[in-house]
């Protein structure tokens, strides 16, 4: 095995220096010195497991800031837990790194993970590091806890329920266009920074987890795009969802972009990478949900309802949007 100029530490040295500090919060991670980690699961809780991988050139660009990547990698996995009503417990990490990736990159990546861990109150459990001749890829398996039989499924929405979403939708889709340089109209610096940050540092809605467990009948996080993911929820619950596109919450920076490029509105509803939670809940709980959201400091907006009918999604309020709107994203799994 030859060593590169930027690779003085070696695999063992990198684990010891960069990753071991991330595991100090988990006694059963044994400072990453054993073959496996061990965890206690409280007797009244169940274990929730989710896995998300990110590949350079597919999910991010090689030149992206390693601290941003670290943040997003952890955030998208925490978002899955949050949408299932689970509290984060710990995570394992696999890094497949090309030889050209040096210690400096790994250090910046691990530093970003450390800051994200603190924010999400979760710690590294273990993992594996492998070399690859291909693109850098990163895999997290996140473990969470829910009270017994309280995981919120995609299945469970009932006709009569209202449909809600946290935060704002579509910022990341605009952020991606900014990152790709394909947004033609000028965007103010503040708005640009905001939209890019929504793409690079999504906010898993961990502060809403307890309320979601109280009120939610079905939920998922928006990763493939609002339209596609609402269809997933409708099919899993075997109900018809009605989405009022006019009710979908948009941020002020996004609204300013739409003023000059109104055609981007459909992209915002299909673009994905929002990592907000869409959920259904009994209509009569709407006020309680609003109060819970306010107390958690999270915007929650009613965007539609669950109706009788064939499983699927209806969308109203799409006047002026392209005629094939709502079809995109359907095949994206």
| Site for a second copy contains 47 (CB under 8 A) | yes
Between the CA of residue 24 and those of 76, 124, 203, what are the distances in Å? 22, 8, 24
Instruction: Give the Cα separation of 331 and 193 in Å (integer).
Output: 31
Q: How far is the CB of 234 from a second copy (least distance, A)?
A: 13
Q: Which is nearer to a second copy, 10 or 159 (CB)?
A: 10
| Site for a second copy contains 86 (CB under 8 A) | yes
Q: Which is nearer to a second copy, 133 or 184 (CB)?
A: 133
Q: Kindly tell me which residue out of 23, 48, 241, 268 binds a second copy, with binding defined by CB under 8 A.
A: 48
Name the one residue in this structure whose structure tokens are 């070696």. Answer: 10
Please choose, out of 46-54, 100-108, 245-253, 289-297, the segment that lies near a second copy by the rule CB under 8 A.
46-54
Instruction: Give the Cα separation of 270 and 225 in Å (integer).
Output: 4
| Site for a second copy contains 2 (CB under 8 A) | no
| Site for a second copy contains 83 (CB under 8 A) | yes
The SS3 call for residue 102 is coil
Of residues 127-186, those binding a second copy (CB under 8 A): 127-128, 130-135, 137, 139, 141, 143-144, 146, 151, 153-155
Instruction: Give the Cα separation of 26 and 197 in Å (integer).
Output: 30
| Site for a second copy contains 36 (CB under 8 A) | yes
Query: How many CB atoms lie under 10 A from the CB of residue 96?
Result: 20
Instruction: Give the Cα separation of 276 and 229 in Å (integer).
Output: 11
Q: Which is nearer to a second copy, 90 or 183 (CB)?
A: 90
Between the CA of residue 163 and those of 70, 170, 219, 239, what are the distances in Å? 32, 17, 10, 12
Q: Which residues contact 232 (CB under 8 A, 6 or more apart)?
A: 154, 220, 224
| Site for a second copy contains 22 (CB under 8 A) | no
| Site for a second copy contains 24 (CB under 8 A) | no
Q: Which is nearer to a second copy, 40 or 287 (CB)?
A: 40
Task: Name the CA radius of gyration of the chain, rounded.
Answer: 21
Cα angle 207, 28, 127; round to 5? 80
Question: Element (H or E) spanning 165, and its range?
Answer: strand 161-166
Residues near a second copy (CB under 8 A): 1, 10-12, 15, 28, 30, 33-41, 43, 46-55, 57-59, 80-81, 83-84, 86, 90, 92, 94, 96, 125-128, 130-135, 137, 139, 141, 143-144, 146, 151, 153-155, 220-221, 236, 331, 333
């Amino acid at each position: 095995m030859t060593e590169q100029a930027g690779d003085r530490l070696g695999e063992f040295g990198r684990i010891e220096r960069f990753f071991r500090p991330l595991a100090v919060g988990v006694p059963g991670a044994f400072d990453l010195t054993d073959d496996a980690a061990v965890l206690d699961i409280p007797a009244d809780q169940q274990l929730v497991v989710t896995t998300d991988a990110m590949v350079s050139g597919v999910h991010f660009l090689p030149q992206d800031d390693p601290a941003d990547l670290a943040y997003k990698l952890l955030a998208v996995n925490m978002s899955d837990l949050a949408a299932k009503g689970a509290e984060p417990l710990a995570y394992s990490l696999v890094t497949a790194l090309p030889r050209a990736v040096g210690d400096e990159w790994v250090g910046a990546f691990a530093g970003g993970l450390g800051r994200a861990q603190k924010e999400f109150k979760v710690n590294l459990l273990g993992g594996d590091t492998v070399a690859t001749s291909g693109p850098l890829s990163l895999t997290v398996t996140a473990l969470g806890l829910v009270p017994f039989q309280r995981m919120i499924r995609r299945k469970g929405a009932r006709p009569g329920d209202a449909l809600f979403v946290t935060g704002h939708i579509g910022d990341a889709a605009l952020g991606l266009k900014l990152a790709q340089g394909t947004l033609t109209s000028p965007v103010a610096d503040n708005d640009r920074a905001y939209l890019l940050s929504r793409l690079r540092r999504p906010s898993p809605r961990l502060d809403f987890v307890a309320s979601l467990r109280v009120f939610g009948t079905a939920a998922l996080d928006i990763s493939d795009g609002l339209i596609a993911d609402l269809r997933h929820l409708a099919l899993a619950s075997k109900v018809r969802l009605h989405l009022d596109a006019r009710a979908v919450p948009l941020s002020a920076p996004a609204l300013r972009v739409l003023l000059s490029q109104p055609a981007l509105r459909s992209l915002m509803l299909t673009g994905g990478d929002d990592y907000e939670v869409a959920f259904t809940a009994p209509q009569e709980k709407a006020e309680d949900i609003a109060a819970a959201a306010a107390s958690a400091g999270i915007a929650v907006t009613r965007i539609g309802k669950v109706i009788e009918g064939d499983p699927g999604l209806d969308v109203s309020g799409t006047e002026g949007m392209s005629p094939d709107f709502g079809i995109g994203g359907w095949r994206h799994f």
